[in-house]
Amino acid sequence: MALTRIANIASTIPDDSIANVKMANIVQSKNIIINGDMQIAQRATSSTGVTSGNYYTCDRWFIENTTMGTFTISQSTDVPSGQGFASSLKYDCTTADASPASGDTIGLRQKFEGQNLQYLKFATSSAESLTLSFWIKSNKTGTYNVALFGQDSASTEQYLTKAYTISSADTWEKKTITYIGNTANGFDNDNARSLDLTFNFGTGSSNTGGTLQTVWSNYGTSADYYATQGVNIADSTSNELYITGVQLEAGDTASEFEFLPYGLNLERCLRYFYPIISISDTNNLNAFGYYYASGNIKIPIRLPTQMRTTPTLSQDVDTDALRFYRDATYDGLSGNFALDGNGTGRYVSMANSTDASGTAGQAGQLYKYTPTQADSYIWLSAEL
């Protein structure tokens, strides 16, 4: 990997040299956010009818929606001019909700592992400040907020919220927000969810009227958490919102956005999500496997990178969308796969025993047959 090679070079430079300091800054990625430029979208480039929270398009970005309008979420090519970005994440309201239920919300979230945050020195007097910068565009001007929320323990959940303003309609604007470090509570040194960054784009009445918490505070009421959120992007089908260039870094000043090579950005995303068979695959060879008994297929898969934890499998496979080719013939698979045995974050094995007529020991290849089943997929997820 590119950073490994750079690290090897850095090890040959004297510790007290200026070159070593500069090399260290290159080796350690400064942006806590993964896929902040919205370049990676393994699930899909567009998802319609979104009324609930989930991962839909751009990797690592969780769309928060508790029945607050209906949206199309997509990866867009509308970006701020001359800034080096190629993609943004777009919200397009398709069914309005001008009078949302009291607890409804619409927003955008990224979640972080505690073991990646230890260098922030939270829970000590040396806790680092964090600076968030991002580009945003919407026809809905007004006051929005974005919050940090510590997730490690229910008894010590703490958060702080900062407000910002979209001043000009349909215009890309860069925003910069600084959060003080948390000297009271820190992060567990593990692969579990420790911190959230949440952009709030609208909320119901029970989440309004609170006091903006600009210092780390114990979680009390949702009204305080969503305080100053005065805009609802779900109140009209004319509403759109775009966001890109999201960077969260240690320190009290924002630096230029850190553009990573596409392959490195993809590898960071693969830790959390890996499509064995993508919606976009068309008549592709996807994996090799074998019959371990008559009519029973196993597909062992070595994952491209260490996933955060043992993944779960989700799938939507139409009849005859998947075929297992062996001995100059194929078996159409009508049923679903299941994870088989004790997989890890490094490998898994899938099993299928539907409409497969081979005999034990026969090998073959699994492929997606897509003249009429192009939307089928099998995904592995280790999201937080």
Neighbouring CB atoms inside 10 A of 363's CB total 12
Tokens of 362: 């026969």
Per-residue pLDDT of the chain (384 residues; tens, 9 = 90+): 334 334 444 445 565 555 544 444 454 689 999 999 999 999 999 999 999 999 999 999 999 999 999 999 999 999 999 999 999 999 999 999 999 998 899 999 999 999 999 999 999 999 999 999 999 999 999 999 999 999 886 667 899 999 999 999 999 999 999 999 999 999 999 999 999 999 999 998 877 778 888 899 988 777 788 877 889 999 999 999 999 999 999 999 999 999 999 999 999 999 999 999 888 887 777 889 999 888 889 999 999 999 999 999 999 888 778 888 888 888 888 778 999 876 778 999 999 887 667 889 999 999 888 776 778 899 999 999
SS3 262: helix
User: How many angstroms separate the CA atoms of 284 and 150, rounded?
Assistant: 42
Q: What is the DSSP annotation of 28-69?
A: S----SSSTT----SS-SEEEEEEEEEE-SSTT-EEEEEEEE
Whether 222 and 103 have beta carbons less than 8 Å apart is answered as yes
Name 114's bridge partners. none
Whether 251 and 131 have beta carbons less than 8 Å apart is answered as yes
Name, in order, each residue with C-beta under 8 angstroms of 142's C-beta and a sequence gap of 6 or more.
165, 166, 230, 231
Residue linked to tokens 């025993």: 353
User: How many angstroms separate the CA atoms of 18 and 220, rounded?
Assistant: 47
Helix axes of 2-10 and 18-27: crossing angle, nearest 10 degrees:
160
Query: Using CB atoms within 10 A of its CB, is residue 144 exposed (0-12), middle (13-18) or buried (19+)?
Result: buried
User: How many angstroms separate the CA atoms of 184 and 158, rounded?
Assistant: 9
User: How many angstroms separate the CA atoms of 236 and 217, rounded?
Assistant: 34
- Residue 55: closest CA among 73, 36, 78, 32: 73
For the chain, helix, strand, coil in percent to 5 are: 10, 40, 50
Q: How far is CA 221 from CA 158, 159, 211, 313, in A?
A: 12, 11, 10, 35
SS3 115: helix
User: How many angstroms separate the CA atoms of 329 and 313, rounded?
Assistant: 28
DSSP 120: G
Confidence (pTM): 0.91
User: How many angstroms separate the CA atoms of 129 and 113, rounded?
Assistant: 18
Segments in the chain forming alpha helices (H): 2-10, 18-27, 222-225, 262-270
